[in-house]
């Protein structure tokens, strides 16, 4: 009798993976504070007497080197003052089933990718689309109508395929908007499990209460360690907690109980996912509001030629860039009129509050890079006033990027290779368009293919012929004839949209084999 195959649990996957965690090694569990300062803290943020490291700390190492005086460091350096340790904080938050893991910030992103893929069901469920949704954090406000359209668009785009949605993972700003929005969709309608919402933040970013909760939710931690607060009870924290409606939360640790995560981890994770052999994954970044530090995210995406969608009307950086793009384009949108440094400064000051002595030079240079003509095809603006909805805007961003790839390939590779590569890119886009029901992106591709021109022409002819027949004879046709004619019309319209994509791909494969 065959046994049903079961997937390994999140906990089992972590136990068997090669990932590690990180902690401060300046002091260890045996360390004692100065006799005159029982509550003295290490530069990592922990109380000296409440470190968790079990190995040999830096103090004995220094004494073994012949040094007699111990001067604790004032500033933390990850290379010198941290050490890798086995993962000891991981599991699930019982109330929402959010899976979490605390790992070393130096971990290889390919290992994190493999862990997530394994948890999603293996190679056949690798992500086909990764939406990075970043921007506003604290004091983040978006008009309710725009907020609903953002969430609806992200969910509609994501639900058609294996999708990862990446956020900063904290319980405010855009991360909270996405987490809570997806949670509402799960309650209101059937929501596919293949869509994963992954928060990426720092262990030191979240507050001590959150760290305490995550340790308490780790069965093995409770068995091996005493649960203790590692900071003084007198410290008033104004820190974050994780957004628990995400399916996963990855907490990167550099050994400190402070700091915020840059864009390196997200950037490398998306890059690795999009470079998989024999698998196609598209990355799109959605910027909702955002401050000047969000320019780093946009720069990383431009460097990797990933499309970006700016949400106009969300405020700050998104509105700054959307406004500059509109101002620097003519009505025909063919000749770019680049804004001056002073123009950029005025728009930034209008949308983003800055200190009186703020140095605009670096910001202006970063924005000018975004506005370069060779980068414009990557920058897309969504507005509630547009004809396209949010999901269509996301798909169109990918479509424009792939068309640009095909044009570049036409210049750089030989004719046969060029045809094959262009065909492959278009096939991938057709499959994605069919999954999203975004047929506006399919028809232009099919019309450009030599092998389908006759079929398209024939279908158009039959469509027009059926329409004329239906208009001319509608009054004298019997019920059955009218129904049959309307069915023919519907069939012709369906063929014009899809051109029987599956059979066409098989035909092209047979043609290549011959």
Residue 337, pLDDT score: 67
The two tokens of residue 19 are 């990932």
- Torsion on CA atoms 250, 256, 262, 266, rounded to nearest 10: -20
The two tokens of residue 143 are 């008009």
Q: Quick one: how far is CA 269 from the chain centroid? A: 9
Highest mean pLDDT: which range of 27-31, 140-144, 161-165, 198-202:
198-202
Q: What is the mean pLDDT of residues 497-513?
A: 49
The two tokens of residue 167 are 């956020």
Q: What is the mean pLDDT of residues 337-346?
A: 88
What residues contact residue 506 under an 8 Å CB cut-off, 6+ apart?
none
Per the model's pLDDT, the better-predicted residue between 68 and 347 turns out to be 347
Percent pLDDT > 90 in the chain is: 52
Per the model's pLDDT, the better-predicted residue between 61 and 373 turns out to be 373
Nearest CA to 176 out of 215, 210, 136 is that of: 136
Check if the beta carbon of residue 394 is closer than 8 Å to that of residue 157. yes
pLDDT for 322 beyond 50: yes
pLDDT for 510 beyond 50: no
Q: Quick one: how far is CA 38 from the chain centroid? A: 44
Could you read off the pLDDT of 418-439 as tens digits, one per residue? 456 556 666 766 766 666 666 6
Nearest CA to 368 out of 340, 393, 408 is that of: 340
pTM of the model: 0.82
Per the model's pLDDT, the better-predicted residue between 219 and 84 turns out to be 84
Residue 4, pLDDT score: 46
Nearest CA to 197 out of 135, 131, 262 is that of: 131
Nearest CA to 448 out of 466, 430, 467 is that of: 430
Check if the beta carbon of residue 438 is closer than 8 Å to that of residue 444. no
Nearest CA to 370 out of 310, 316, 321 is that of: 321
pLDDT for 202 beyond 80: yes
- Torsion on CA atoms 153, 195, 504, 420, rounded to nearest 10: 100
Could you read off the pLDDT of 143-171 as tens digits, one per residue? 999 999 999 999 888 887 789 999 999 99
Nearest CA to 201 out of 259, 283, 129 is that of: 259
Percent pLDDT > 70 in the chain is: 72
**E strands present in 362-506:** 379-382
Residue 476, pLDDT score: 52
Residue 204, pLDDT score: 95
What residues contact residue 253 under an 8 Å CB cut-off, 6+ apart?
21, 22, 23, 102, 103, 104, 105, 202, 203, 204
Could you read off the pLDDT of 352-365 as tens digits, one per residue? 988 888 889 999 99
Check if the beta carbon of residue 498 is closer than 8 Å to that of residue 442. yes
Q: What is the mean pLDDT of residues 450-473?
A: 56
Per the model's pLDDT, the better-predicted residue between 490 and 381 turns out to be 381
Residue 87, pLDDT score: 95
Could you read off the pLDDT of 268-301 as tens digits, one per residue? 999 999 999 989 899 999 999 999 999 999 999 9
Confidence bin at 403 (pLDDT 50/70/90): confident
The two tokens of residue 231 are 């900071």
Residue 514, pLDDT score: 47
Per the model's pLDDT, the better-predicted residue between 186 and 496 turns out to be 186
Determine the Cα–Cα distance for residues 429 and 416; give it in Å rounded to an integer. Answer: 20
pLDDT for 223 beyond 90: no
Could you read off the pLDDT of 5-27 as tens digits, one per residue? 577 999 999 999 999 999 999 99
Residue 505, pLDDT score: 47
């Amino acid at each position: 009798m065959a046994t049903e195959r079961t997937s390994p649990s999140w906990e089992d996957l972590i136990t068997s993976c090669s990932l590690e965690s990180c902690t401060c090694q300046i002091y260890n569990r045996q360390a004692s504070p100065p006799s005159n300062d029982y509550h003295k803290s290490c530069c990592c943020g922990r109380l000296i007497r409440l470190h968790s490291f079990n190995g040999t700390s830096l103090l004995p190492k220094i004494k073994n080197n012949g040094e007699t005086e111990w001067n604790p460091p004032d500033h933390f350096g990850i290379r010198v003052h941290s050490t890798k340790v086995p993962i000891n904080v991981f599991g699930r938050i019982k109330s929402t089933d959010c899976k979490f893991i605390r790992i070393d910030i130096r971990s290889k992103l390919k290992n994190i990718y493999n862990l997530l893929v394994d948890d999603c069901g293996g190679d056949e469920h690798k992500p086909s689309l990764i939406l990075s949704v970043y921007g506003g954090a604290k004091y983040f406000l978006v008009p309710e109508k725009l907020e609903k359209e953002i969430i609806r668009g992200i969910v509609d785009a994501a639900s058609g395929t294996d999708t990862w949605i990446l956020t900063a993972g904290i319980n405010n700003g855009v991360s909270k908007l996405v987490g809570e929005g997806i949670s509402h969709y799960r309650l209101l309608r059937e929501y596919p499990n293949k869509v994963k919402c992954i928060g990426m933040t720092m262990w030191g970013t979240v507050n001590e209460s959150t760290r305490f909760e995550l340790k308490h939710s780790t069965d093995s931690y409770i068995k091996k360690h005493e649960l203790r607060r590692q900071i003084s009870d007198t410290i008033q924290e104004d820190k974050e907690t994780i957004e628990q409606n995400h399916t996963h939360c990855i907490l990167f640790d550099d050994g400190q109980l402070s700091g915020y995560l840059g864009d390196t981890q997200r950037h490398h994770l998306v890059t690795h996912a999009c470079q998989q052999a024999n698998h196609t994954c598209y990355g799109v970044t959605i910027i909702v509001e955002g401050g000047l530090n969000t320019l780093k995210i946009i720069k990383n995406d431009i460097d990797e030629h990933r499309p970006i969608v700016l949400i106009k009307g969300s405020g700050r950086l998104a509105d700054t860039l959307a406004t500059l793009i509109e101002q620097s384009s003519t009505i025909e949108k063919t000749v770019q009129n680049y804004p001056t440094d002073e123009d950029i400064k005025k728009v930034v000051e209008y949308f983003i509050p800055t200190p009186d002595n703020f140095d605009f030079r670096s910001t202006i240079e970063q924005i000018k890079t975004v506005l370069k003509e060779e980068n414009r095809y990557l920058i897309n603006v969504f507005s509630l006033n547009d004809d396209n909805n949010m999901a269509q805007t996301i798909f169109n961003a990918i479509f424009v990027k792939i068309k640009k790839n095909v044009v570049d390939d036409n210049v750089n590779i030989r004719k046969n290779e060029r045809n094959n590569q262009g065909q492959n890119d278009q096939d991938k886009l057709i499959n994605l368009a069919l999954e999203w029901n975004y047929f506006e992106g399919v028809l232009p591709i099919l019309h450009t293919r030599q092998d389908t021109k006759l079929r398209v022409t024939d279908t158009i002819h039959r469509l027009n012929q059926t329409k004329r027949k239906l208009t001319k004879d509608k009054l004298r046709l019997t019920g059955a004839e009218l129904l049959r004619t309307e069915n023919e019309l519907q069939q012709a319209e369906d063929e014009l949209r899809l051109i029987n994509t599956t059979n066409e791909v098989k035909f092209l494969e047979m043609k290549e084999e011959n």
